[in-house]
Amino acid sequence: MAASITALRRQISSAGDLKSVVRVMKASAASAIGQYERSVAALADYAHTVELGLGVCLRSVDPTAAYAPFSSSHADDIEVHAVVFGSDQGLVGRFNEEVVDYAMAQLASSPVKVWAVGERVHERLLDAGMTPEGLFAVPGSVEQITQLVGQILQTVQIPESGAVGGRQSATLILFYNRPAGSGYHPVSQRLLPLDEHWQLGLAQPPWPTVQRPEVLSANAQTLRAFIREHLFVSLFRASAESLASENASRLAAMQRADRNIGELLLDLNATYHRLRQAGIDEELFDVISGFDALSPNADATP
């Protein structure tokens, strides 16, 4: 009995300590979600500026020279490069499994080179039978996302275009989890070749002010510069949204853990009090039994 009560005390103490850790992780995940969502919102204005610049360039250059390097007309017979964003750490539920399953389904019929962002998603890709070309560490903060984007652009080495009028040499696709309400869902984004409908959509809307801008010189070079900025914005957004989704998944996992630990503590405390009460009842029974055993002798004493 005493050994069982002592063991229960240790279990209750350990569960209480674990519950404190889970609560800290919940607070940390909730704070991180807001941090990355704010970074995505702040990026929206810059992304809009880049799209305006692209629209100006696409209206200014010769379509036969401008669209060919970026269009999707030959996308079926070029090499596919994919970047899959996941996590370095665990306790994120099925976060990595879902994005890998989604990527594998999309890439099932294509020869592809894959780069993984995160050790856990790298392991999942290996388990799925796909050997990644490289591994990038997951940024630990918004400030480190820029460094990751630079590493991806340097390592994957996808040119924004060939010579003007040439053909795109490779396709670049991103796979990542995007926040959706209180959860997330896996999505893909093809960065290169640029979608022709998307290009036309940028070129057709009217300029927001009366004064229309013009590209003074080097139209093709200016277009390539805006394409590079578009790549940067898209990679930054994908990384930030993946990190927000990772922390949303971790928050949900910690909430489930907190609930389960709470239920476990209730059961342990109930068992502990039941054993304590049984021990007290046993001690009282022993006292009463001893008193009853001594009572006849006391009556027989003259």
The predicted-structure confidence for 8-64, as pLDDT tens digits, reads as follows 889 999 999 999 999 998 999 989 999 999 999 999 989 988 888 888 887 776 544
CA distance 265 to 123: 35
Mean pLDDT of 197-210: 76
The predicted-structure confidence for 230-287, as pLDDT tens digits, reads as follows 999 999 999 999 999 999 999 998 999 999 999 999 999 988 888 888 877 777 787 7
Q: Three-state secondary structure along the chain?
A: CHHHHHHHHHHHHHHHHHHHHHHHHHHHHHHHHHHHHHHHHHHHHHHHHHHHHHHHHHHHCCHHHHCCCCCCCCHHHCEEEEEEECCCCCCCCCHHHHHHHHHHHHHCCCCEEEEEECHHHHHHHHHCCCCCCEEECCCCCHHHHHHHHHHHHHHHCCCCCCCCCCCCCEEEEEEEEEEECCEEEEEEEEEECCCHHHHHHHHCCCCCCCCCCCCCCCHHHHHHHHHHHHHHHHHHHHHHHHHHHHHHHHHHHHHHHHHHHHHHHHHHHHHHHHHHHHHHHHHHHHHHHHHHHHHHHHHHCC
pLDDT band at 75 (very low <50, low <70, confident <90, very high): very low
Q: What is the CATH number of domain 44-206+219-254?
A: 3.40.1380.10
The predicted-structure confidence for 166-177, as pLDDT tens digits, reads as follows 445 578 899 999
91: left (phi over 0), alpha (psi -120 to 50) or beta: left
Look at residue 249 in the predicted model and tell me its pLDDT.
92
242: left (phi over 0), alpha (psi -120 to 50) or beta: alpha
What whole-number percentage of the chain has pLDDT above 70?
86
pTM confidence score: 0.79
Look at residue 262 in the predicted model and tell me its pLDDT.
92
Query: Which residue do the tokens 């460094």 mark?
Result: 147
Mean pLDDT of 76-85: 81
Query: Which residue do the tokens 């696709």 mark?
Result: 173
The predicted-structure confidence for 222-242, as pLDDT tens digits, reads as follows 888 888 899 999 999 999 999
What residue segments make up the domains of the chain, in order of their start? 44-206+219-254
Quote the mean pLDDT of the chain.
83
| In the predicted structure, residue 92 carries a pLDDT above the cut 80 | yes
